[in-house]
Structure 1
Amino acid sequence: MIVIENLTKRYGDLVAVNDVSFVARPGSVTGFLGPNGAGKSTAMRMMTGLTPPTAGRALVLGRPYKQLPNPGRHVGVMLDASAQHPGRTGREVLRLAAIQMGVGRAAVDASLDRVGLTSKEAGRRVRNYSLGMRQRLGLASALMGDPQVLILDEPANGLDPQGIHWMRGLLRGFADQGGTVLLSSHLLHEVQIIADELVMIGNGRIVAIGSKEELLDSHGTRVRSLDDTALHAALSAAGFGVRHDGTVLVAEATPEQVGRVALDARIVLTELRTSGSEGLEEMFLQLTAAHAREGSAA
């Protein structure tokens, strides 16, 4: 379990992380989301003892990370897959990690096999690895000590679709066996598939927190009909909030409630669904719009 209590980090007048509190529980994958510069990486560095907090605390398995005995045996961390010695082979990187954790050489082979790196690939210098291979190597190191908790920053970065599918299964299986996963990623569709809980921050503050289902359901039901004007009026008359979102109506109601209103009003629906594959992305953009870094379109 990871418990974050009022975590704050200031750099002079800049508040990078501002009074953040949440819990990542065993048996679940928690998606930790936010735009660039929102404070995600700083928060994760505080969780893993790399950056001291200005205020608040981060507990991993009931203790600050630095107080864990042999932390690699309890917490698997991957914050920057590119931060690996380029002159060493993948196997050498893992052997050093195994020595530090006090695990045998068999753990190296087991970790390589677990992340799908072949013996030939493990013998290559890290400088010759693709980004996706470095991600697999980083995951192998994080999993080496058979930890109870994983803290991962952008683990799918550089993976191809097959690799992303593999990673999804790996992390889902880890959580289903009772592990705790805290996952930061810009691949919102993948987070939507795998995450149980979501924590979204903007400008260092939490802007949304809760189960994936609660947050996406609260985002509304998307609906189209043969007469959207009449449906809008019927939903409003029934007491549901409703807005027009470009091409569809978004109602603050469940699909069943929207369907019943349409049936009573004898309006034919042509589309009815909760937030689909774009649901998390849409919610993310709306909640973090004030904190996003944008450029002009060419």
Structure 2
Amino acid sequence: MITVENLTKRYGGFTAVDGISFEARPGSVVGFLGPNGAGKSTAMRMMTGLTPPTSGRATILGRTYRELHNPGRQVGVMLDASAQHPGRTGREVLRVAAVSVGVGKDRVEEVLSLVGLTQDEAGRRVRNYSLGMRQRLGLAAALLGDPQVLVLDEPANGLDPQGIHWMRGLLRRFADGGGTVLLSSHLLHEVQVVADDLVMIGRGRIVAMGSKEELLSRGGTTVRSADDARLAGLLDRAGVPYTRTGDGLVVDAESGVVGQVAATEQVVLLELRSGGSEGLEEMFLGLTAATSREGDAA
């Protein structure tokens, strides 16, 4: 369980995170989304005790990160997969972490297998790892203490399609087993597939949050017919609100209602889709277009 309450971070006159509040519940994957400079990484650093908040608080399992006893056994964190000693082998990186967390060498071998790093790869120096291998090693370190919560910043960065598919399954199984996952990613399709809930921020503020199904259904129903003028008249008569576009109508009703209205008067439909069928990318771009600040600190 992660609880964020009015979390704020200011640097002089600049506000990086501005009073955000949300929850990530056990058994769920929460997608934490926003354009570059939105404040995602700063918020995650505050949640995990790396950056002190200006005001507000974030708790994990009911306590701030600093109050957790041996936090590595309760919270798995991966904020920067490149922050690993380049002269050590992957196995050595994990063995050093295992001593800190208080787990044995057997657990190191378990997580290496879990993240798909072979014996040969585990014996290589990290400086010779690809970005995807570093991501797998970072995730192995996050899982080392068998935590209840995962906080992951761009964990699929550098993975090939097969690796992304694997990670999606791993995170889904972790959540289905009662764990909590907070996942920041720019790979919107992958977040759409795996996430249960979404939190979107822009310029440090939350612009939308809720279940994935709820947010993706907000776009109404898009419909195009052989006679849009006639269909519009039928919707007027039925009291169903709509908006004309350059290519059909956007109706504030479920697709089944629109289909029934059209079928009653035998209007031929050429296109009928819910707003959510456009996917997460369209919603993300629409909500964050006015708040994007490419190049600012994330």
1:285 match: 285
Higher relative contact order (CA 8 A, sep 6+): 2
Q: Where do 1:117-132 residues align within 5 Å? A: 117-132=117-132
SS of 1:76 mapped into structure 2: strand
- Asked if the contact 1:224/1:269 (under 8 Å) is kept, the reply is yes
Residues 73 and 238 of structure 1: CA distance in aligned 2, closer, same or farther (over 3 Å):
same
SS of 1:124 mapped into structure 2: coil
Cα deviation, residue 83, structure 1: 1.2
Residues 283 and 70 of structure 1: CA distance in aligned 2, closer, same or farther (over 3 Å):
same
**Alignment of 1:172 onto 2:175:** no
1:32 match: 32
Task: Deviation per CA, 1:177-214: give whole Å up to 9, x if none.
Answer: 00000001111111111111111111111110111111
Cα deviation, residue 239, structure 1: 3.8
Moved over 6 A (4+): none
1:5 match: 5
220-229 vs 7-16, which deviates more?
Answer: 220-229
- Asked if the contact 1:202/1:291 (under 8 Å) is kept, the reply is yes
SS of 2:182 mapped into structure 1: strand
Residues 140 and 256 of structure 1: CA distance in aligned 2, closer, same or farther (over 3 Å):
same
1:212 match: 212
Residues 45 and 246 of structure 1: CA distance in aligned 2, closer, same or farther (over 3 Å):
farther
- Asked if the contact 1:31/1:185 (under 8 Å) is kept, the reply is yes
Residues 233 and 32 of structure 1: CA distance in aligned 2, closer, same or farther (over 3 Å):
farther
Letter of the 2:179 counterpart = G
Q: Where do 1:195-234 residues align within 5 Å? A: 195-234=195-234
2:242 match: 242
Task: Deviation per CA, 1:46-77: give whole Å up to 9, x if none.
Answer: 00000000000000000000110110100000
Letter of the 1:119 counterpart = Q
**Alignment of 1:194 onto 2:194:** yes
Letter of the 1:138 counterpart = G
Q: Where do 1:67-216 residues align within 5 Å? A: 67-216=67-216
Following the alignment from structure 1 to structure 2, what is the Cα–Cα distance between the partners of residues 118 and 172?
23
- Asked if the contact 1:189/1:277 (under 8 Å) is kept, the reply is no
Aligned length: 295
2:253 match: 253
- Sequence identity, in percent? 73
Letter of the 1:268 counterpart = V
Task: Deviation per CA, 1:87-143: give whole Å up to 9, x if none.
Answer: 111111111111110000001100000000001001111111111111100110000
Uncovered stretches (5+) of structure 1, i.e. residues with no partner: none
Residues 293 and 248 of structure 1: CA distance in aligned 2, closer, same or farther (over 3 Å):
farther
Q: TM-score, normalised by structure 1?
A: 0.94
Following the alignment from structure 1 to structure 2, what is the Cα–Cα distance between the partners of residues 153 and 246?
39
Following the alignment from structure 1 to structure 2, what is the Cα–Cα distance between the partners of residues 236 and 188?
36
Cα deviation, residue 231, structure 1: 2.9
Following the alignment from structure 1 to structure 2, what is the Cα–Cα distance between the partners of residues 273 and 286?
18
Following the alignment from structure 2 to structure 1, what is the Cα–Cα distance between the partners of residues 246 and 186?
24
Following the alignment from structure 1 to structure 2, what is the Cα–Cα distance between the partners of residues 57 and 159?
33
Following the alignment from structure 1 to structure 2, what is the Cα–Cα distance between the partners of residues 199 and 157?
20
Uncovered stretches (5+) of structure 2, i.e. residues with no partner: none
SS of 1:290 mapped into structure 2: coil
Cα deviation, residue 279, structure 1: 1.7
Task: Deviation per CA, 1:249-278: give whole Å up to 9, x if none.
Answer: 432221111211222342112222224564
SS of 2:9 mapped into structure 1: strand
Residues 248 and 201 of structure 1: CA distance in aligned 2, closer, same or farther (over 3 Å):
farther
Cα deviation, residue 291, structure 1: 1.2
